[in-house]
Amino acid sequence: MQDFEAFLAPAKINLFLHIVGQREDGYHLLQTAFRLLDHYDTIYIKTTNTGVIKRVNELPGVPEAQDLCVRAALLLQKHTGCQLGAEILVDKKIPMGGGLGGGSSDAATVLLALNQRWQLNLPREELLKLGLQLGADVPFFIYGSNAWAEGVGEQLQALTLHDAYYVVLTPKVHVSTAQIFANKQLTKNTIPKTIAAFSGIAQLSTENSAGKNIHGEFINDLEKVVCSIYPEVKACLGWLKQYGDARMSGSGASVFLEVADADTANKIYQQKPDGYSGFVAKGLNQHPFMSK
């Protein structure tokens, strides 16, 4: 790993996810609250003078040409005309296809890191637009803090959230996001909420306990459909719900429970059934790259 520099790519959860409409091009309009977690993939990058972008390790099920890290580097290179190259090694810890944003976070970290290491100095706004070309969640990770999101996920406002810990579990199933969004049972006309209403509920909950900041008014519209198709997700969610207001992140398959402290989170996690993988994480206030 000589000459490689390590960059952290954090996971995210959706504290809620509403589908409020659909554009003519088929993209769904949503409202969500993104929260960063201190559970990371690590992206190792070595800049080169060759102009070649290459991934130096294998990722099962992810061909190099489809890897969002490689695609992000190539996009940045093409956009700027940069003649430099990069070697990229991805150490995955965030479950793939779990609704935790791992691939999007990895891509955002590559854009942020190479913008700095290639000395391109593109403004954050420009990187946000580039990120959207790679995926709807990528701009959030470039934005760098917890956020209220609208549009297809690219319209972002900073969101202040109280400290909390999360038990995150992933059943052994891969949820097809395209299948869920195409399902005729999916609600696509949820009445839009306001960031003020969400923040008000979140603020009230800090006087009581974590885990009650979203209530029944802010749900995941995809959760009911996913649970009807994937009994593994339904069972995992059901197990976690015995401890509080557990819910699904994104399009699944990962589910999470917010609790007030690490001890509570770890006690719950230690009791999880053997069939589930997962982790305990603390909510972050900002992306670790912001401190670089």
Catalytic residue among 12, 41, 67, 106: 12
Tokens representing 168 are 């995150």
Confidence (pLDDT) at 200: 77
Q: What is the pLDDT of residues 210-229, one digit of tens each?
A: 444 455 789 999 999 999 99
Residue 216's pLDDT is 73
First-residue to last-residue Cα distance in the chain: 20
Mean pLDDT of 80-85: 98
Task: Indicate if 12 belongs to the active site.
Answer: yes
**Stretch among 43-47, 198-202, 262-266 having the lowest mean pLDDT:** 198-202
As a whole number of angstroms, the distance between CA 54 and CA 85 comes to 8
Q: Does the annotation count 261 as an active-site position?
A: no
For the chain, what percent of residues have pLDDT higher than 70? 95
Q: Stretch 2-18: mean pLDDT, rounded?
A: 96
Nearest to 19 by CA among 238, 211, 192: 192
Backbone angles phi and psi of 286, in degrees to 5: -150, 160
Q: Residue 90 has which token pair?
A: 């991805």
Beta-sheet pairing, 255-259 with 277-282:
unpaired
202 — pLDDT class (breaks 50, 70, 90): low
Q: What is the pTM of this model?
A: 0.94
Tokens of 35: 């929260």
In whole angstroms, what is the distance from residue 29 CA to residue 47 CA?
Answer: 37
Task: Name which residue leads in pLDDT, 176 or 237.
Answer: 237
Q: What percent of the chain has pLDDT over 90?
A: 85
Which neighbouring-strand residues pair with 11? 37
3-state secondary structure at position 197: helix
Q: Specify the pLDDT at position 97.
A: 86
Average pLDDT in the chain = 93
Residue 13 has pLDDT above 60, yes or no: yes
In this prediction, residue 215 carries a pLDDT of: 59
Task: Indicate if the pLDDT at residue 206 is higher than 50.
Answer: no
d(CA 213, CA 263): 20
Distance CA 288, CA 174 (A): 28
Of 41, 137, 221, 234, the catalytic one is 137
All residues at 6 or more sequence positions from 25 whose CB lies less than 8 Å from its CB, including other chains: none
Which pLDDT does position 46 carry in this prediction? 98
Cβ pair 55, 67 in contact under 8 A: yes
